[in-house]
Amino acid sequence: MIPTFPRQSSSRPGWQCREPPVVSGTGAHYSKEEALYRLTSTHTLAAFTAVVALVTGCSTGGVSDSLAQAERVAASCPPDGARIAALVQVDWSGSRRSLAATPAEEQVVRAAAERALICGGHLRMTVFSGSMIAVTVFDANLHLDGATTNARLRKAPKAVDAVMAQVTSAFPEAIERISDGATDIVAQYQLGEEYWTQLSATDHSVLEQTIVTDGIQTAGQDLSDPSLTIAHAEALAAAVSVPDLTGATVRLIGIGRQADDASLPTPYIAALRAFHTTVCDKTGADCSVVTDAAGA
């Protein structure tokens, strides 16, 4: 089953009112009309524009709540004006390959897009499996235009929807290009450092890296044995070399949650979390390692 990241819709299914964000890079391929309504016939667009706004209530529904949420995000942006270097890496190895995206996991991507748009920055989403080289799903600079702060923040929900539409469109093709083999979760830190370095060459950026994975590393350090103990996991982690990510924020989400949502032994999940917590802490980043996205 291919995971999907469905777009948030209005109260009336099938209609969405949105404005495209200002984007550049991989995935930024929609015209304004497509990003607004995704109608297949350009001849019907003009006739339906006013009707859509009236029938869906897009111009008024939920504006206050959306603005309040955008203001909360804006208040948490880097205080020194740094841009967000958002990186979401999704494990698509054998143990996760049948996992349909949950609403909580969809929210991981949405939240990263929202922060990059509101704070200003870059969002890259990749999928990985048996190779350190990940496959890119989305890769673009994001920001909101507007004459005032409120004008910009009011555009955030529709802009996030437009990003999610592009992610949804690109995801199936991306997973077809993933190589098989051992799962290298630890290698994602190196890719995170390279991404951060690349963006920092032109702008002062802060890395916000999220790795969605069940935590079952099989490349280098094999964590596939359910009898793994915390002590053994921490010993394996101590031998791992990682880049310096001091100043970054790193989250690992989904630890112990497999494709079929089968229940793994609690001690095994604790050992997986111990390994990844120890490895992440070695990077110097501000780390969190959780099973459920809601706890990140």
Task: Give the domains, in start order, of the chain with CATH numbers.
Answer: 22-295 (3.40.50)
Residue 68: exposure state from Cβ atoms within 10 A (0-12, 13-18, ≥19)? exposed
Residue 49: exposure state from Cβ atoms within 10 A (0-12, 13-18, ≥19)? middle
Between 42 and 93, name the one with better pLDDT: 93
| Mean pLDDT, rounded, for 258-277 | 88
* Amino acid 95: pLDDT: 54
Between 13 and 110, name the one with better pLDDT: 110
| Spatial separation of the C-alpha atoms in residues 296 and 288, rounded to whole Å | 7
pLDDT surpasses 60 at 151: yes
Residue written as token pair 């450092």: 193
Calculate what percentage of the chain has a pLDDT beyond 70: 72
| Mean pLDDT, rounded, for 49-59 | 33
Banded model confidence at residue 42, pLDDT cuts 50, 70, 90: very low
Banded model confidence at residue 217, pLDDT cuts 50, 70, 90: very high
Q: How is the beta sheet containing 83-91 ordered, strand by strand? A: 22-26, 135-143, 121-128, 83-91, 205-212, 249-253, 286-290
| Spatial separation of the C-alpha atoms in residues 275 and 223, rounded to whole Å | 9
Between 5 and 140, name the one with better pLDDT: 140
- Cβ neighbours for 149, distance < 8 A, ≥ 6 positions apart: 74
Decide if 146 contacts 152 (C-beta within 8 A): yes
Decide if 215 contacts 273 (C-beta within 8 A): yes
| Mean pLDDT, rounded, for 248-275 | 90
Banded model confidence at residue 295, pLDDT cuts 50, 70, 90: low
CA distances from 107 to 113, 161, 294 (A): 10, 12, 9
Decide if 125 contacts 26 (C-beta within 8 A): no
Range name among 19-23, 42-46, 151-155 with the lowest pLDDT average: 42-46
